[in-house]
Amino acid sequence: MFVTFEGIEGTGKTTQITKLKEYFESMGREVFLTLEPGGSRIGTELRKMLLHVDSKDITSITELFLYLADRAQHIAQVIKPELEAGKVVISDRFADSTVCYQGYGRGLDPKLLHQLNEVAVDGCWPDLTILLDIDVEVGLKRAMTRNMRDGKTQEEGRFEQEHLSFHSRVREGYLTWAALNRDRIKVADASGTPDEVFANIKRLVDTKLAG
Ligand code: TYD
Confidence at residue 155, expressed as pLDDT on a 0 to 100 scale: 67
Confidence at residue 108, expressed as pLDDT on a 0 to 100 scale: 98
89-105 per-residue burial string, b: 16 or more CB within 10 A, e: under 16:
bbbbbbbbbbbbbbbbb
Which ligand 1 atom is the nearest neighbour of the CA of 37?
24
CB 172 within 8 A of CB 100: no
- E strands, the chain, are 2-6, 31-35, 88-92, 128-133, 185-189
Write the CATH number for 90: 3.40.50.300
Distance (Å, rounded) from C-alpha 137 to C-alpha 143?
Answer: 10
Q: How many domains does the chain have?
A: 1
Surface-to-core class of residue 3, CB atoms within 10 Å of its CB (0-12 exposed, 13-18 middle, 19+ buried): buried
Does this model's pTM top 0.75? Answer: yes
* Cα separation values, 63 from 68, 101, 108, Å: 9, 10, 11
CB of 166 closer than 6 A to ligand 1? Answer: no
Which residues constitute the domain of residue 98? Answer: 2-210
At 112-155, the pLDDT tens digits run 999 999 999 999 999 999 999 999 999 999 988 888 787 765 56
Residue to probe by mutation, ligand 1, list 11, 74, 101, most atoms within 8 Å of CB: 101
CB of 98 closer than 6 A to ligand 1? Answer: yes
CB of 101 closer than 6 A to ligand 1? Answer: yes
pLDDT under 50 in the chain at which residues?
none
Confidence at residue 146, expressed as pLDDT on a 0 to 100 scale: 83
Distance (Å, rounded) from C-alpha 194 to C-alpha 16?
Answer: 7
Q: Ligand 1: which residue has its CA nearest to atom 10? A: 37
Confidence at residue 80, expressed as pLDDT on a 0 to 100 scale: 98
